[in-house]
């Protein structure tokens, strides 16, 4: 009985020692777990910044509310590189913003110039009919301006006392032509100078009759521009009786502004239209460029010879012309649409499209513009052939870059347009 009690106390003592030992071994692990400060801290992102899902330009160093819309801020994703100068955009966002891109190409540059002008009379086809002697208009066969005249048509009949005397002189010298041929030839020449035909002179010298009135015929066909005499008027030698214009060929006089003169050269082909014939296009070549600029209008005149045998073009018609000028260059030029360029007067920028890990990025790039080609620009510096640029929706991309705090046309340094407030 005594041995049983002793064994019982011995077993209880061993159990107590083992329990204390196990407790001592486990205590450091439990203490370390309770005192670990990491279990009570807020989880933060790698950058330690917070932003608004609706206004990504907001950046704060601690959570809170958006100062613009009041929404709760969210952590900036760790996979975003804040030093990246590009802006990421999904295909859906590109479609909603109507953003289009194109591959940069090169080619022979042609500048399109719009010119305005008027149809004018071809001055080289104007003819004047004058009196070669003194006389009186007995009959006038042209009575109004604008009348169409054929070549050889009778215009007027003039009575002249000088003609009567010249005919008598011819008849007298004709009889003595063998002994005095010089005087005879002089008498014939006088009548020829008055535009009297050879057959008429032959009839006069044989005394088969006399000509009382000199008939004046049109040397060229055309439209009567001026009629300076009326029936019964007396005229003197050298007086202009009629002025005719042949409209089978006309001039188109175009206004070339000072800034466009360098692109206009004689020989350039143009196409033009007039309001009287919608849909009808006329063609011609520049034959002359005025060497002087009008000091008031600041334009020079370019002259185009136009075939008008159909008579469709009338003097003083207004015309709108298009000229495509080849810009000579030793190499092909980089040409992009005007819609791809954003410019402030001092600098011009485009947006380059790149793809990375199946994502689309855009980055602003400054370029140096060359000549303006009308709907496009030549790029002197800043782009290479084969690069992809935004050609439609450029302002949408630039606005997104501004909101994201990335470099843009208005903020080339990439500063955010609106900064978040810090909480105290």
Q: In the prediction, which pLDDT does 26 show?
A: 36
Whether residue 149 contacts residue 244, with contact meaning beta carbons closer than 8 Å, is answered with: yes
Note the pLDDT of residue 57: 65
pTM for this prediction:
0.58
DSSP states of 55-90 as a string? -TT--BSS--B-TTT-PBPEEPPTT--TT---EEE-
Average pLDDT score over residue span 229-235: 91
Distance, CA of 178 to CA of 188 (rounded, Å): 15
Residue-level pLDDT at 1: 47
The mean pLDDT value of the chain amounts to 80
**CA angle in degrees (0–180, nearest 5) for 136-208-184:** 80
The helix/strand/coil state of 377 is strand
Quick one: DSSP state of residue 127? Answer: E
| 225 to 50, 123, 129, 141, 372: CA distances (angstroms) | 85, 12, 12, 15, 43
**pLDDT grade for 172, boundaries at 50, 70 and 90:** confident
Q: Please state which CATH number belongs to domain 87-109+331-403.
A: 2.40.420.20
Give residue 2's pLDDT. 47
Residue 31: per-residue pLDDT = 36
Structure confidence by residue, pLDDT tens digits, 268-305: 999 999 999 999 999 999 999 999 999 999 999 999 99
CA gap 141, 161 in Å, rounded:
21
pLDDT over 90 (residue 417): no
Across 14-18, 20-24, 151-155, the highest mean pLDDT is recorded for 151-155
Return the structure tokens found at 215: 């008939």
pLDDT number for residue 346: 75
Cα-flanking dihedrals φ and ψ of residue 386, to 5°? Answer: 100, -15
Neighbours of 298 (CB within 10 A): 11
Q: What is the pLDDT of residues 320-351, one digit of tens each?
A: 999 987 765 567 788 899 999 998 767 899 99
Q: Which CATH architecture describes the domain 249-326?
A: Beta Barrel (2.40)
How far is residue 262's CA from residue 328's CA, in Å, rounded to a whole number? 12
- The predicted structure's pLDDT at residue 28: 42
Q: What is the mean pLDDT of residues 393-397?
A: 88
| CB 110, CB 313: distance < 8 Å | no
Cβ-in-10-Å burial (0-12, 13-18, 19+) of 50 comes to: buried
93-100 CB contacts, 8 Å cutoff, 24+ apart: 94/360, 94/393, 97/393, 97/396, 97/397, 97/400, 98/392, 98/393, 98/396, 99/390, 99/392, 99/393, 99/396, 99/397, 100/390, 100/391, 100/392, 100/393
Written as one string, the DSSP assignment of 242-300 is EEEE--SEEEEEEEEEGGGGGG--TT-EEEEEETTSTT--EEEEEEEE-SS--TTT-EE
Task: Take residue 392 and report the two structure tokens written for it.
Answer: 């439609």
* 3-state DSSP of 136-156: EEEEECCCCCCCEECCCCEEE
Using pLDDT thresholds of 50, 70 and 90, give the confidence band for residue 210. Answer: low
pLDDT tens across 30-65, in order?
A: 333 333 333 333 334 445 677 775 666 677 888 888
Region 299-317: what's the mean pLDDT? 94
Residue 252 predicted with pLDDT over 70: yes
Instruction: Dump pLDDT digits (tens) for 54-99.
Output: 666 677 888 888 888 777 887 765 444 444 678 888 788 888 888 9
- Given a cut of 90, is residue 389 above it in pLDDT? yes
Whether 209 shows a pLDDT value over 80: the answer reads: no
Q: How many CA atoms lie within 13 A of 178 on its CB side?
A: 1
Evaluate the CA torsion angle 281, 284, 290, 291 in order and state its sign. Answer: positive
Nearest Cα neighbor of 212 from 155, 140, 135 is 135
282: region left, alpha or beta (phi > 0 left; psi from -120 to 50 alpha): beta
- Percentage of residues in the chain with pLDDT exceeding 70? 80
For residues 29 and 270, what is the distance between their CA atoms, to the nearest angstrom?
94
400: confidence class by pLDDT, cuts 50, 70, 90: confident
């Amino acid at each position: 009985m005594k041995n049983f009690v002793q064994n019982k106390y011995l077993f209880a003592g061993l159990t107590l020692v083992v329990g204390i030992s196990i407790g001592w071994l486990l205590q450091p692990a439990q203490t370390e777990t309770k005192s670990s400060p990491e279990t009570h801290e807020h989880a933060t992102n790698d950058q330690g910044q917070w932003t608004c899902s609706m206004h990504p330009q907001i950046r704060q160093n601690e959570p809170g509310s958006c100062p613009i819309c009041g929404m709760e801020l969210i952590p900036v994703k760790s996979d975003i590189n804040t030093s990246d100068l590009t802006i990421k955009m999904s295909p859906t966002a590109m479609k909603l913003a109507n953003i289009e891109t194109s591959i940069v190409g090169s080619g022979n540059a042609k500048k399109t110039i719009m010119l305005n002008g008027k149809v004018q009379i071809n001055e080289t086809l104007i003819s004047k009919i004058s009196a070669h002697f003194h006389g009186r208009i007995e009959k006038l066969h042209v009575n109004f301006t604008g009348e169409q005249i054929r070549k050889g048509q009778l215009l007027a009949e003039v009575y002249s006392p000088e003609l009567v005397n010249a005919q008598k002189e011819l008849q007298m010298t004709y009889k003595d032509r063998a002994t005095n041929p010089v005087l005879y030839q002089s008498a014939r020449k006088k009548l020829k100078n008055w535009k009297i035909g050879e057959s008429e002179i032959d009839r006069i010298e044989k005394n088969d009759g006399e000509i009382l009135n000199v008939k004046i015929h049109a040397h060229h066909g055309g439209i009567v521009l001026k009629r300076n005499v009326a029936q019964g008027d007396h005229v003197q030698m050298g007086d202009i009786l009629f002025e005719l214009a042949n409209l089978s060929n006309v001039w188109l006089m175009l206004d070339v502004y000072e800034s466009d003169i360098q692109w206009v050269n004689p020989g350039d082909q143009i196409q033009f239209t007039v309001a009287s014939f919608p849909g009808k296009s006329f063609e011609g070549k520049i034959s002359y460029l005025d060497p002087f600029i009008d000091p008031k209008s600041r334009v020079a005149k370019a002259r185009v010879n136009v075939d008008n045998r159909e008579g469709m073009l009338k003097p003083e018609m207004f015309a709108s012309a298009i000229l495509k000028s080849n810009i000579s260059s030793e190499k092909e030029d980089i040409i992009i649409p005007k819609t791809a360029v954003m410019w402030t007067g001092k600098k011009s920028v485009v947006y380059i499209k790149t793809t990375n890990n199946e994502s689309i990025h855009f980055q602003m790039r400054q370029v140096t513009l060359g000549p303006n080609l009308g709907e496009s620009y030549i790029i002197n510096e800043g782009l290479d052939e084969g690069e992809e640029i935004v050609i439609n929706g450029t302002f949408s991309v630039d606005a997104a870059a501004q909101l994201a705090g990335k470099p843009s046309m208005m903020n080339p340094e990439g500063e955010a347009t609106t900064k978040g407030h810090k909480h105290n």
